[in-house]
């Protein structure tokens, strides 16, 4: 079993991500602790009541900038657990991590090759004090190993070791035997990553210092399309002779790649795999103040991002790479809030703001003060407010009402983000 813990500032963003999955039928509310419940004792499906379950804790928050917890627990695909077992797994993990007395809600996700659970909670207690996260990764690994033994699950260490062995390395022409380096990297990419277009494939390779380019020509009167690969430096400049795909094998050529991409696209359409990184990307868009800072923040979450620009510097494409799940998505595939146009607006906004104002103003104040400069404010505000999921006007209104209520109840003392 593998556990991934994310700390964030937006409770609404974490809940909206899961609620959208529930609405689509790819997830279900499994259980909860200290939550407002329905007649059957289950956490309410009404998002307003879910927000209210956390309200007192967030109001009491003293100094914690990121009080929201979003935890994913992923058993191996071979491990089959009942809903009752998953509920117990979540409860015992939270207890071992020190969050057993916190309000939390558990979702079961079935949109990938392995059923897994997401837990949304807060890391501040009823008195507003932060629950210690010292040695969090170490304690989480210890908890996972104990639960694996108790539930008869496969050892997550083995899964992590396999991931490390498959970890991709950038091609480095100074290391010699460039063709061999390129071939090894191509093999690792094809064996472990999923993508649906040649653009997504080439974007992933560009982060590994490989340029993949389609070439067209004619042979014996017949048109053909082939692929050539070249090594690049860290700035994307080609620094090696081109290699035909045939030098590495048929599966790296156009025909085999197209079959692979069609298979991935079919699985995607059937809901066998879907983007899972919208909350992290939206959170970075919300808190970053420059393009470089955005890239660094995503890198810490093991998310790569590639921006494609024309000669005028306008972004015409953006691709996100989830290195944990080994999945690649064009931004628009994740939602209109992550399309190239939104990032053009966002980066221009950052560039136009005075440096002092960037750092001193809170996010929401900053967007409101400069709204008149935005050509597409609704999309930008969605991304800036971590509304990474299209939930409709009614849900947006509920969030605004929740924000206003929290603001009215604030105490006079200055406090940092409440996690809303």
**pLDDT on residue 325:** 85
DSSP per-residue letters across 58-106: HHH--S-S--EEEEEEE--TT----HHHHHHHHHHHHHHTT-TTS-EEE
Average pLDDT rounded to a whole number, residues 95-101: 96
- Residue 104 confidence class, pLDDT cut points 50, 70, 90: very high
- Residue 374 confidence class, pLDDT cut points 50, 70, 90: very low
**pLDDT on residue 355:** 63
Q: Domain-by-domain residue ranges, the chain? A: 2-162, 173-250, 278-389
Average pLDDT rounded to a whole number, residues 165-192: 84
- Residue 34 confidence class, pLDDT cut points 50, 70, 90: very high
Q: For residue 76, is pLDDT > 70?
A: yes
- Kind and range of the H or E element at 187? helix 178-192
Q: For residue 10, is pLDDT > 70?
A: yes
The Cα–Cα gap between 343 and 380 comes to 8
Cα 240 to chain center, whole Å? 34
The Cα–Cα gap between 68 and 55 comes to 12
Give the C-alpha distances (Å, rounded to integers) separating 196 from 167, 182, 193, 260.
Answer: 21, 21, 10, 8
Q: For residue 396, is pLDDT > 50?
A: no
**pLDDT on residue 405:** 62
Closest to 368 in 3D by CA, of 405, 403, 413: 403
Q: For residue 384, is pLDDT > 80?
A: no
371: Cα within 13 Å, side-chain hemisphere: 12
What is the end-to-end Cα distance of the chain in Å, rounded? Answer: 30
Question: What average pLDDT does the chain have?
Answer: 82
**pLDDT on residue 354:** 65
- Residue 229 confidence class, pLDDT cut points 50, 70, 90: very high
**pLDDT on residue 7:** 92
**pLDDT on residue 71:** 95
The 243-244 sheet, strands edge to edge: 210-219, 222-231, 243-244
DSSP state of 196: S
Q: For residue 365, is pLDDT > 80?
A: no
- Residue 68 confidence class, pLDDT cut points 50, 70, 90: very high
The 68-74 sheet, strands edge to edge: 2-8, 68-74, 116-122, 104-109, 27-33
- Residue 414 confidence class, pLDDT cut points 50, 70, 90: low
Average pLDDT rounded to a whole number, residues 296-319: 92
pTM of the model: 0.53
List the alpha helices (DSSP H) in 302-414. Answer: 331-334, 340-352, 355-360, 363-369, 377-384, 393-409
- Residue 197 confidence class, pLDDT cut points 50, 70, 90: very high
Average pLDDT rounded to a whole number, residues 50-61: 94
**pLDDT on residue 88:** 96
Q: Identify whether the C-beta of residue 122 lies closer than 8 Å to the C-beta of residue 102.
A: yes
313-355 pLDDT per residue, tens: 899 999 999 988 889 999 988 888 899 999 988 888 877 666 6
Cα 377 to chain center, whole Å? 23
DSSP per-residue letters across 31-56: EEES--B-TTSSBPS-HHHHHHHHHH
Q: For residue 161, is pLDDT > 80?
A: no
**3-state helix, strand and coil shares in percent for the chain, rounded to the nearest 5:** 45, 20, 35
**pLDDT on residue 162:** 43
The Cα–Cα gap between 52 and 263 comes to 43
- Residue 417 confidence class, pLDDT cut points 50, 70, 90: low
Average pLDDT rounded to a whole number, residues 217-225: 70
DSSP per-residue letters across 149-181: HHHTPPPHHHHHHHHHHT------GGGS-HHHH
Strand partners, 321: 304, 328
**pLDDT on residue 378:** 40
- Residue 397 confidence class, pLDDT cut points 50, 70, 90: very low
The Cα–Cα gap between 90 and 119 comes to 8
CATH of domain 2-162: 3.30.930.30
Closest to 267 in 3D by CA, of 322, 196, 337: 196
Q: For residue 361, is pLDDT > 50?
A: no
Tokens linked to 28: 């279900």
Task: Write the CB contacts of 396 (distance below 8 Å, at least 6 apart in sequence).
Answer: 387
């Amino acid at each position: 079993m593998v556990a991934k813990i994310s700390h964030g500032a937006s409770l609404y963003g974490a809940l909206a991500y899961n609620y959208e999955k529930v609405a689509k039928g790819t997830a279900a509310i499994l259980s909860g602790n200290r939550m407002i419940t329905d007649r059957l004792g289950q956490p309410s499906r009404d998002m307003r009541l879910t927000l209210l379950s956390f309200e007192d804790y967030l109001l009491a928050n003293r100094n914690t900038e990121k009080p929201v917890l979003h935890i994913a627990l992923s058993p191996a695909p071979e491990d089959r657990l009942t809903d009752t077992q998953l509920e117990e797994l979540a409860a015992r993990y939270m207890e071992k991590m020190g969050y057993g007395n916190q309000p939390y809600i558990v979702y079961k996700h079935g949109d990938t090759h392995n059923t897994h659970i997401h837990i949304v909670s807060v890391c501040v207690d009823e008195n507003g004090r932060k629950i210690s996260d010292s040695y969090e990764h170490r304690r989480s690994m210890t908890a996972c190993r104990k639960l694996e033994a108790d539930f008869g699950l496969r050892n997550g260490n083995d899964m992590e070791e396999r991931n490390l062995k498959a970890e991709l390395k950038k091609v480095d022409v100074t290391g010699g035997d460039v063709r061999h380096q390129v071939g090894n990297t191509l093999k690792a990419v094809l064996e472990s990553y999923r993508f649906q277009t040649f653009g997504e494939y080439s974007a992933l390779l560009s982060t590994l210092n490989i340029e993949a380019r389609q070439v067209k020509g004619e042979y014996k009167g017949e048109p053909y399309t082939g692929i050539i690969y070249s090594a690049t430096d860290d700035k994307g400049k080609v620094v090696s002779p081109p290699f035909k795909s045939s030098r590495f094998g048929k599966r790296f050529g156009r025909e085999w790649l197209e079959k692979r991409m069609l298979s991935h696209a079919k699985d995607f359409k059937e809901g066998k795999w879907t983007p899972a990184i919208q909350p992290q990307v939206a959170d970075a868009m919300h808190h970053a103040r420059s393009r470089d800072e955005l890239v660094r923040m995503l890198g810490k979450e093991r998310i790569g991002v590639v921006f494609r620009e024309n000669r005028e510097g306008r972004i015409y494409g953006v691709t996100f790479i989830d290195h944990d799940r080994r999945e690649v998505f064009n931004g628009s595939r994740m939602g209109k809030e992550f399309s190239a146009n939104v990032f053009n607006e966002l980066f221009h906004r950052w560039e136009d703001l005075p440096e002092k104002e960037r750092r001193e103003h809170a996010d929401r104040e900053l967007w409101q003060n400069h709204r008149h400069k935005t050509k597409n404010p609704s999309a930008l505000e969605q991304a800036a407010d971590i509304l990474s999921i299209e939930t409709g006007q009614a849900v947006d209104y509920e969030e605004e009402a929740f924000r206003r209520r929290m603001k009215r109840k604030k105490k006079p003392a200055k406090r940092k983000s409440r996690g809303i």
